[in-house]
Structure 1
């Protein structure tokens, strides 16, 4: 059976730079009836474990280390034995949420993760945070962009450890170069496609963030 994509929406707090906001997060599961990976263990370990539904959890992949994307990761890892994967450039953010629990392994640009016979390639896409990554699955016609690219533009860059020119470069060089029909599955909100977002790059640059 080919890998399939499942979506779970969880709700909780996002906190950074002294502010806290209520947010809804997309948790993505990629796998089949036997094994699965979780992309961004957000807020609710009970709900995510229920979605895993007894399958072998190969990895908990963090697109970046803002607390709303990693707050449930250690609990989910403790329940399942799955390793938590994070790009090392985001460890400073990780420690703000989990000072006593390190990630289990590092993500690196070009790394390939295989689940249910399907390959997900790690693309380092910094800007929203230094270690932000996207995961590209050509067989699934999908890229999981975390908070790097949304329907309507780049992720936020107005807070600590973020940079607007960097996120624009990441989107231009790493994401908009993907096939236009590629579905963009985001960290929050609705999905979009590379083709729908590509024509607006100049508008984003003109607006700045």
Structure 2
């Protein structure tokens, strides 16, 4: 069982974690939001869900007790459990009067909360507040706008939903996601602060596990299709054969993951698709 995450935790001299108080199947104990820096003007990473008074009260308490104003708010990606609480945070007006809000643009176009200005980030952009330098790394895959933030002073990475403190992540594009995992691995972080779950103190092992896990899932799908060359399968059938120990409530998300694997395999010319059914592509053996 995962260790319980307190509502507020001082993780280092320059990092305070405030739990979003929005537990759920996909959010685990809740969304982790992080206050970064050592001076009066600091950075907040993510804002949790909308309409969660418990989270806002905890955040207010930290900002008041530490005498902190928010210079910047960074949104790791557009999902509601990371951007939904933005207006509620900005409503702490004595602490956000001069706050700039940032996120990376979505390739599908934006649907942003009304009533606030959001500036768009660029890959490699750097921001500095007292005690902290953050570099933006665009890591698409979970979503097209997903970023991680590299804290130079501690060689730490705030990984959003790209790498989680427990379990594995879902994604929109497996090809991009695998590349993003490798990009995080290439940073060789000493520690990873995830968007959900506890702090990851052995990032290399965790990321290697993620990469290997995806390769194994891909091979499981291929093995079923290869051993049933004359049959065609939908995602639900493949999930029932592969995710045998997965709780029923998570099988829908598993179907989405299997679909992304199949799309990647289709690009690799290893499977064929007929009317939303999938089959091993014997032609690929001759290429």
Q: TM-score range by the shorter chain?
A: 0.7 to 0.9
**SS of equivalent residue, structure 1 residue 177:** helix
Change (3 A) 1:90 1:154: farther
Q: 1:199 to 1:91 in 2, by over 3 A?
A: closer
Q: Secondary structure at the match of 2:186?
A: coil
Counterpart-to-counterpart distance in 1, 2:148 and 2:111:
17
Matches of 1:86 and 1:113 in 2, distance apart? 13
Q: Which residue in the other structure is 1:64 paired with?
A: 77
TM-aligned CA deviation for residue 104 of structure 1: 2.2
- Structure that is richer in strand per residue: 1
**Pairing partner for 1:85 from 82, 102, 106:** 102
Equivalent residue pairs, number: 195
Cα offsets for 1:89-115 (capped at 9, x unmatched): 1784643xx2x2354211110000112
Deviations 1:73-132 (A, max 9, x none): 12322421212111111784643xx2x235421111000011214211000001111100
User: Equivalent residues in 2 for 1:33-182 (5 A)?
Assistant: 33-43=39-49, 44-53=55-64, 54-78=67-91, 79=93, 80-81=96-97, 82-89=99-106, 92=109, 94-95=111-112, 98=113, 100-101=114-115, 103-151=117-165, 154-157=168-171, 162-172=172-182, 174-179=183-188, 182=190
Tell me the residue number matched to 1:9.
19
TM-score (norm 2): 0.61
Q: Tell me which residue corresponds to 2:191.
A: 183
Higher Cα radius of gyration: 2
Q: Which runs of 5+ in 2 are unaligned?
A: 1-11, 50-54, 219-256, 258-287
Structure with more relative contact order (C-alpha pairs < 8 Å, separation 6 or more): 1
Specify every segment of 5 or more residues in structure 1 that has no aligned partner in the other structure, as ranges.
Answer: none
CA 1:22–1:4 in structure 2 vs 1: closer, same or farther (change >3 Å)?
Answer: closer
Q: Does 1:197 align with 2:214?
A: no
Q: Considering only aligned residues, what root-mean-square deviation do their CA atoms show, in Å?
A: 2.7
Task: Return the alpha-carbon distance in structure 2 between the equivalents of residues 142 and 74 of structure 1.
Answer: 28
